[in-house]
Amino acid sequence: MKTRLAIFASGAGSNAQKIIDHFKNSPLAEVALIGCNKPNAGVLNIATKENIDSFIIEREQYKKDGYTDFLHEKRIDFIILAGFLWKIPQPLIDAYPRKIINIHPALLPNYGGKGMYGSFVHEAVITNKEKQSGISIHYVDEHYDHGDIIFQATCDIVTGDTPDSLAQKIHQLEHEHFPRVIEEWLVGNSK
């Protein structure tokens, strides 16, 4: 039996697409479900194109039970957050202990927490004249960007970098590493 993954995303879905592509012919896992909290997000078009079930995450139900019964009905084993902006509710954390991971566009524990996503992260990193930034793939717990780190990769920040140019570097790191790290994580968890 293949491991069944759910991807939660809020935006265009470029990381979701890379993960879907990575596992398309994998004997290990498949992307079985995509959840999104924005009805017009591009990731839902990807779900349709790839013939993957999707659902809209409604705030009230999400806060109440995290859709745990629905996810169990769909036989979801692990949840991947790929640009999903809402905090994970306790019922979902309890139902999937150490089975939810997130990717963050900075080197945690720096530049994490509420409000630290997308261009806000890159602006803060540039403003503080950091020499490096990168990505952090981590377990999800009850706090924003707080769980144990699984993997980090870095990129240099050079004179003239802007939040936009840094975002491009970060996207490259995400696309290069996230699917592979997920696979390694799944292999490590299947023992």
pLDDT tens digit string along 50-79? 999 999 999 999 999 999 999 999 999 999
* Residue 143 identity: H
- Please give the distance of CA 155 from its chain centroid, rounded to a whole number: 19
Q: Distance between CA atoms of 189 and 102, rounded to whole angstroms?
A: 16
**CB-based contact 152:138 (threshold 8 Å):** no
Neighbour-count burial of 25, counting CB atoms closer than 10 A to its CB (0-12 exposed, 13-18 middle, 19+ buried): exposed
pLDDT tens digit string along 145-179? 989 999 999 999 999 999 999 999 999 999 999 99
User: Annotation-wise, does 4 bind a ligand?
Assistant: no
| Three-state DSSP state, 96 | coil
Task: Classify strands 78-81 and 100-104 as parallel, antiparallel or unpaired.
Answer: parallel
Scanning the chain, the segments in alpha helix (DSSP H) are: 14-23, 42-49, 59-65, 68-73, 90-95, 118-127, 163-189
8: phi > 0 → left, psi -120 to 50 → alpha, else beta; which?
Answer: beta
User: Annotation-wise, does 51 bind a ligand?
Assistant: no
Among 31, 19, 50, CA closest to 182: 19
- Look up residue 160 and give its two tokens: 């003239």
Among 183, 86, 101, CA closest to 135: 101
Catalytic residues: 104
**Domains by residue range for the chain, with CATH:** 3-189 (3.40.50.170)
User: Annotation-wise, does 180 bind a ligand?
Assistant: no
What confidence score (pLDDT) does residue 189 get?
81
* 154: Cβ contacts below 8 Å, ≥ 6 apart: 107, 132, 133, 134
Q: Distance between CA atoms of 5 and 8, rounded to whole angstroms?
A: 10
pLDDT tens digit string along 78-98? 999 999 989 999 999 999 999
User: Annotation-wise, does 189 bind a ligand?
Assistant: no
User: Annotation-wise, does 59 bind a ligand?
Assistant: yes
- pTM for the model stands at 0.96
